[in-house]
Structure 1
Amino acid sequence: MVAKGLEGVVALSSEISSIVDGVLTYRGYNIDDLADNASFEEVSFLLWNGRLPSQTELTKLESDLTENASVPQEVLQLVKAAPADAHSMAVLRSAVSSLSMFDSKAEVSDTWANYQKAIQLTAKIPTIIAAMHRYRQGEEAIAPKKGLGFVANFLYMLNGEEPSEVAIKALDKVLVLHADHELNASTFASRVTAATLADMYSSVTAAIAALKGPLHGGANEGVMNTLYEIESLDRVETYLQTKLDNKDKIMGFGHRVYKDGDPRAKHLREMSRQLGEQKGDTKWYEMSVRLEKLMMEKKNLKPNVDFYSATVYSYLDIPSYLFTPLFAMSRVTGWTAHILEQFNDNRLIRPRAEYTGPVNQKYVSIDKR
């Protein structure tokens, strides 16, 4: 029997992350534990190496990410030349793909070389995203600054100012929560590509292409667009009822895997509240809480990770067209961890399809058709 969308099908085994009874873990660590205590750099090391780093190892990784953050000028020129209305994920996809042409070891596929590529991709994607934003504002890209951590450097390159500790902590937690999620669509795409023994850049590019779709990575941008359309707290219920009557999809609710709520959502909900209070404007948070309550009452659906991440990004003054690229900025650590795992025990991923077309057809010459 065909499992539509491969639902419930176990396609491969992995030691990287798991979702069991609604609990998400990275390498056996509960996501709540990591979200509350670990930095994004620690989680990156964990995903790649299967254990948390020592202080020396963490310091080395932080240094490596800083040292590899610069992007070739040719790639930046490609980003700058993109049309202003080009989809941000299309720009990111093209830029990441082009990085391979400037890596002399792009085709080297031993474990150490691929590990270094994982670091390089994680380091360079924030620089590409920040440059894309600067160019769209008619400004020049800002080079990464030594002495700043991974998250602080991204926010600095984005806005030209060193961020507050609250902003750093909030975005760091968002990145931890998005770093991996078992065999989701983009991760599966990366592993299918890696299984052909394509290089890591190709595999990550395939993942970015899959993440671009609104049913995967694009949902958080859709959430913010919904809030913009609603405009005010007193319009939430009327807006929602109209959408439900029209059988329109409400972005940010429900999940294929989680039947009793996404465990990551509560962390983002609290961050949204804190950031709104810090800015003195809790409008988006209050609207989101109201929408969450009504969706539970009317459809028995709980928010997923995309729902509150939208308002968190908004409170950090990140424009909505960068929401999905930020997802990629985090998830690249998970993608590369899965690609490394695929390379280490590879078998070409080649499923079968159940044929449902016509049978016993006979060729008819063109003059008789």
Structure 2
Amino acid sequence: MISTSLKWIRPVKSTQRDIQMLLKSQCVCNCNVCFFSPVSHSLQYVYSGTSEIPNLPEFVVIGLVDGEPFVHYDSNSHKMTPRQEWMARSEGPDYWNKESQNLHGEESLFKNNVDVAKKVLTLHQSGGVHTFQRMYSCDWDDETGATGAHEQFGYDGSDFLALDLKTMTYVAPVMQAIPTKQKWDRDNTRKDRYKRYFTQECIDWLKKYVSYGKSTLERTVRPEVSLLQKDPSSPVICHATGFFPKGIVVTWRKDGVDMHSDVEVGETLPNGDGTFQITSKLMVKPEDWKRNSYSCVVQHSQKDLPVLLEEKNIRTNQGLPWGIIIGCVAAALALVAVVVGVVLWRRSRTGNRKADRHRQQWRPTEPQVTCFKACNCTQSLYWGL
């Protein structure tokens, strides 16, 4: 099983205006949580239901292949639409009509689930802004043939249920989820259907979508690496941008040895062109890095890109091109959008991760993903609180 972490939408801690801004963005799906090896592929779907947020869809579905959004559906349009050119040219009207009909049926079920969850999980106080989410995926390694899957539910920013694919039983982290767990665990017909879906149908769809977008999904774009510093006494930031795929490791080395302290690694953020960026901050005094040999090493697609920390290699605010500044702002806005539509699969890796933990969790050679179920979304969601 490929591990995943997630970040649920937490409306209770956000203002209504914040959520409106988030959900209005079309980048809601750019999965800031899934990192892939060159041979590992993932098909993911995120269902998000909201209540009492004016002028916003109550139901949104985002589909992603290898972390790239490729389809979108919401309760305003009632239509499944492509988000990638390769998807638009690969499927005809019959596919889009069928998927739209399937998700229209899911929409009614999901809205009912939101209402039921509100009554049960908020002690019958059903008013206010709430979110209910389902995330599922399957993954496939095209070299080893290994497959995996994941399914999880969340309510108002907290875990609710998660599927254990090995036993085809559900894990209930909260007491309110136990009745649903018991009902689904007893339903052998449902379990057989979902097991077949995750182990066969989903993988077949994933292979098909990968074949559609092969040239895009399997491309490799090397990062541009810069050392940035606000002023001579500020921390030095190693900034890697413009890379694809998303899997990357950024480390600082002192005298050739990896550092495990005095380093802050940021989130991997999407750029507006389908590539990504990341920063890593070195928090040592200037006199220290001037006396010793420090370097930032970016590992991407099994290649090392080292940059020696010397004054001549550092770009300050005065010399920083506007393109980089604008890119950072755009990426920050995209990250906000990410938190939403996908609510997404990541129980937040904070910007204060130590370098050693960062290497463990984001090593590109490890097949890291699987977010949520996928494919043609023909299954109905049976809720039984």
Same fold per TM (> 0.5)?
no
Q: Which TM-score applies when normalising by structure 1?
A: 0.29
Task: Decide which structure has greater strand share.
Answer: 2
Q: Which fold has the larger relative contact order, with Cα–Cα distance below 8 Å and residues 6 or more apart in sequence?
A: 2
Q: Which TM-score applies when normalising by structure 2?
A: 0.28
